A and B are shown apart, each in its own frame.
Chain A
Amino acid sequence: MNALIAFFDKIDQKLDRIGAKLEGKVVRYNPSLVGSLLFIVFGVVFLIIMPQQIHLTGSDTINAQTFPRLLLQLILFFSVIIFIKEIVKMAMHKKCDMKELHLLVEVRTLIILALLVGYLLLLKPIGFILSSVLFGIALICYFRVRKWYYYLIVATAAVLIGVLFQMVLHVRLP
């Protein structure tokens, strides 16, 4: 037991050191500029691939492409307006709304995302209940919780949820 606690302490210290290194590292960006640029790229790409993705069957003017095209054009129109507005603001040295990307927070989010993907990949090979228990334990470890009963509660909840969906809702979980 002591060896286990010492092992976790070691990991904790290592994580603290990594956290300390990342703490305070910040990337400043203009969310409206970045967001509008993302939507411009999205709009242009999806408009370009539209003929390959939506095959027309007749010669009607109102067809399967009409509605998506209109929406993509609206997305492009408003994104370009936001983009130009932000560029003009920057060029005229007016105050722009800026946001900060804290690297430590983003790394934490990436870890949660990795845990979610890991959980998803484990579902088929080891089944829903076991993968849920493992995921629950991993996520509590991520929160760096030392209380053993937290692990027990989450593991029990994972089993109960699995049973609930299978027995009560008749869902054939993997």
Chain B
Amino acid sequence: MELFTQGFELFFNLPNFLWMNIGLLLGVVFGAIPGLTVILCIVLFLPFTYTMGPIESFMFLLGIYCAGGYGGSISAILIKTPGTPHAAATMLDGYPMTQKGESKKAMNIALQASTFGGLFSAFVLLFFAPQVAKFAQKMGTPEYFLVCLFGLTIIAGVSGKSLMKGIIAGCLGLFISAVGIDPMTGSTRYIFGNINLYSGFDLVICLIGLFALSEVLQKGVRGAKLKVETDSLKKESGKITKAEYKKMGIPALLSAIIGVIIGIIPGTGASMASFFSYNTAKSMSKHPEEFGHGSVEGIAAAETANNAVTGATLIPLLTMGIPGDGCVAILLGALMINNLTPGPNLFVDHGATMYAIMIGLVFINIFMFLQGRFLTGLFAKIINVPIAILTPIIVIFCFAGAFSVNNSTFDIGTTVVFALIAYVLYKVDFPVIPILLGLVLGDTTEENFRRSLVLSDGSWKIFVSSPICIAFVLVITLTVAFILWGKVKELKRN
């Protein structure tokens, strides 16, 4: 309780509110514009957090992360183009509502459902994360390695069609993270005599190249223009009736629970949560025939679930350092930049800061609602910003951001190389997100792997030497099996 009060005091500062709202605004914009992604937004603005304290920086990034989910629904509803992949389920009923002239109502439902899901998830995080952290304190080096390995199982979920390609890409990420001076022996690794590589590749530099500049390279492929008629929004009242609220109540609550459960499992993510909830709501509905033709329950279920994932993914992140998806993996990097190494000790050493972040998530969702309530028209107009204007601005941001890491133009060159790597991987159908996971988890994975083997004189039996180790091995096996089972089902369906 004392930590909670301290956390509240730490959080209740004007800069935190300011950065949170800037983050929310940026998140909605990047989520709403098709072609721009939430990951791109977080990567672009990560350098801004260097000068901030840990709470401000996390409020800013969490603002982007949470609002991105809602932003994606705006374009899904208005122009049948989901700004984020998880808004695809929202599109199924959102766009038919727009066709019926009820776009404002659809956006209101999406906003309220997103806020509800986000708040539900934030409270779950607030009450459960400290308990999980207490359990995690009992872990040693081999357990930590298995936790990292558990984090890497998310590769199975983000590998696309081929798990083997995902593993290769993940190994590439881990390999890249090993470049530079070996922290245990001091030997240099694959630096090719270049002093700029002594400290290895900076995470931010790699991210800018892999996720931001590579998008720009792909602009040679894209060129579609989208147009939103914002005038019709002004004419609509967008009011949700009591009967509609009643209809949405149970599906929203159920979807929030589903979202939280799926959010805790690494490698699953918001897309799975929104479609799973959408299907559940449909099967439970008294009017399943309305789904796909503008059902309010459909929008509520999908939007509640995808925002309920946000707080839940932070539970494994903050307590054990396991990132649930690509965005959260970058948040993990942001924590490390602020010298907050995720894991059980985070709650011991920086308990008040952790509580401040968790309380902040509650307020982020409240402010997301307020911004959405008053700025809906503006958000709808943003979708019309031409890509020809956005692309050069993104590149300039990337170059400035990359330079700011070490004040070095070598780093900018490195981002261009990483962009090219991502482009080639895209051409040969290899996923890029596993590289990110490898990069983020690389150092901790290697350190704990080597320490464990040194402790056991090279025997691999150490990884099944304690009940926690065995439990983790089982959880890893089950998670991979669960994700693979989902993939097989998906392939069969297609």
A: residues with CB less than 8 A from B are 31-32, 34-35, 38-39, 46, 49, 53-58, 60-64, 66-68, 71-72, 74-75, 78-79, 81-82, 97, 99, 101, 105-109, 111-113, 116-117, 119-120, 123-124, 128, 132, 135-136, 139-140, 143, 145, 150, 153-154, 157-158, 161-162, 165, 169-174
With an 8 A cutoff between CB atoms, is B217 at the interface? yes
Specify the chain A residue showing the minimal Cβ separation from B423: A109
Specify the chain B residue showing the minimal Cβ separation from A73: B171
Other A-B pairs, 11, CB within 8 Å; known A67-B450, A109-B218: A53-B191, A60-B454, A66-B453, A68-B175, A68-B190, A75-B175, A112-B220, A136-B393, A136-B396, A158-B393, A173-B404
Q: How far is the CA of A173 from the CA of B409 in the complex (A)?
A: 9
Chain B residues whose C-beta falls within 8 Å of the C-beta of A34 in the assembled complex: 428
Q: How far is the CA of A101 from the CA of B426 in the complex (A)?
A: 12
With an 8 A cutoff between CB atoms, is B189 at the interface? yes
With an 8 A cutoff between CB atoms, is B430 at the interface? yes
Chain A residues whose C-beta falls within 8 Å of the C-beta of B424 in the assembled complex: 38
- Asked if residues B429 and A99 are in contact (CB atoms below 8 Å), the reply is yes
A150 contacts which of B221, B388, B400, B446 (Cβ < 8 Å)?
Answer: B388
- Asked if residues A81 and B171 are in contact (CB atoms below 8 Å), the reply is no
Chain B residues whose C-beta falls within 8 Å of the C-beta of A46 in the assembled complex: 175, 190
Specify the chain B residue showing the minimal Cβ separation from A131: B399
Q: Measured between C-beta atoms, what is the minimum distance from A32 to chain B in Å?
A: 7
Q: A135-B392, A157-B396, A171-B404 are in contact. Are A75 and B165 (CB under 8 A)?
A: no
Q: How far is the CA of A76 from the CA of B393 in the complex (A)?
A: 39
Chain B residues whose C-beta falls within 8 Å of the C-beta of A74 in the assembled complex: 167-168, 171
Q: How far is the CA of A32 from the CA of B429 in the complex (A)?
A: 7
Q: Measured between C-beta atoms, what is the minimum distance from B432 to chain A in Å?
A: 12
Q: How far is the CA of A173 from the CA of B397 in the complex (A)?
A: 12
A161 contacts which of B167, B400, B419, B420 (Cβ < 8 Å)?
Answer: B400
With an 8 A cutoff between CB atoms, is B280 at the interface? no
Q: How far is the CA of A145 from the CA of B192 in the complex (A)?
A: 43
Q: Measured between C-beta atoms, what is the minimum distance from A15 to chain B in Å?
A: 14
- Asked if residues A63 and B185 are in contact (CB atoms below 8 Å), the reply is yes
- Asked if residues B47 and A68 are in contact (CB atoms below 8 Å), the reply is no
Chain A residues whose C-beta falls within 8 Å of the C-beta of B184 in the assembled complex: 64
Specify the chain B residue showing the minimal Cβ separation from A102: B221
Q: A109-B423, A112-B217, A169-B47 are in contact. Are A120 and B389 (CB under 8 A)?
A: no
With an 8 A cutoff between CB atoms, is B449 at the interface? yes
Q: Measured between C-beta atoms, what is the minimum distance from B214 to chain A in Å?
A: 10
Q: A35-B429, A75-B168 are in contact. Are A165 and B416 (CB under 8 A)?
A: no
- Pairs A–B under 8 Å by Cβ, sample size 24: A32-B162, A32-B429, A35-B429, A46-B175, A46-B190, A53-B191, A54-B188, A57-B186, A64-B184, A64-B185, A71-B171, A71-B174, A74-B167, A74-B171, A78-B171, A99-B427, A123-B403, A132-B399, A135-B395, A140-B392, A150-B389, A158-B393, A169-B48, A171-B403
- Asked if residues B400 and A79 are in contact (CB atoms below 8 Å), the reply is no
Q: B385-423 CB contact bits vs A (8 Å, 1 = yes)?
A: 010110111011101100110010100110010011001
Chain A residues whose C-beta falls within 8 Å of the C-beta of B450 in the assembled complex: 62, 66-67
- Asked if residues A79 and B168 are in contact (CB atoms below 8 Å), the reply is yes
Chain A residues whose C-beta falls within 8 Å of the C-beta of B140 in the assembled complex: none
Q: How far is the CA of A58 from the CA of B184 in the complex (A)?
A: 12
Q: B165-182 CB contact bits vs A (8 Å, 1 = yes)?
A: 101100110110010001
With an 8 A cutoff between CB atoms, is B164 at the interface? yes
- Asked if residues A101 and B427 are in contact (CB atoms below 8 Å), the reply is yes
- Asked if residues A161 and B393 are in contact (CB atoms below 8 Å), the reply is yes
- Asked if residues A145 and B48 are in contact (CB atoms below 8 Å), the reply is no
Q: Measured between C-beta atoms, what is the minimum distance from B414 to chain A in Å?
A: 11
Q: Measured between C-beta atoms, what is the minimum distance from B403 to chain A in Å?
A: 6
Q: Measured between C-beta atoms, what is the minimum distance from A150 to chain B in Å?
A: 6
- Asked if residues A71 and B175 are in contact (CB atoms below 8 Å), the reply is yes
Specify the chain A residue showing the minimal Cβ separation from B385: A153
Q: How far is the CA of A82 from the CA of B163 in the complex (A)?
A: 11
B164 contacts which of A58, A72, A82, A158 (Cβ < 8 Å)?
Answer: A82
Q: How far is the CA of A49 from the CA of B178 in the complex (A)?
A: 15
With an 8 A cutoff between CB atoms, is B216 at the interface? yes
The 10 closest A-B pairs by CB, nearest first: A35-B428, A108-B220, A136-B392, A64-B182, A109-B220, A143-B388, A31-B429, A171-B404, A64-B187, A139-B392
Q: A54-B187, A106-B220, A124-B409 are in contact. Are A169 and B396 (CB under 8 A)?
A: no
Q: How far is the CA of A107 from the CA of B51 in the complex (A)?
A: 40
Q: Measured between C-beta atoms, what is the minimum distance from A79 to chain B in Å?
A: 6
Q: How far is the CA of A71 from the CA of B400 in the complex (A)?
A: 33
Specify the chain B residue showing the minimal Cβ separation from A155: B392
Q: A58-B185, A136-B392, A153-B389 are in contact. Are A113 and B217 (CB under 8 A)?
A: yes
Chain B residues whose C-beta falls within 8 Å of the C-beta of A60 in the assembled complex: 454
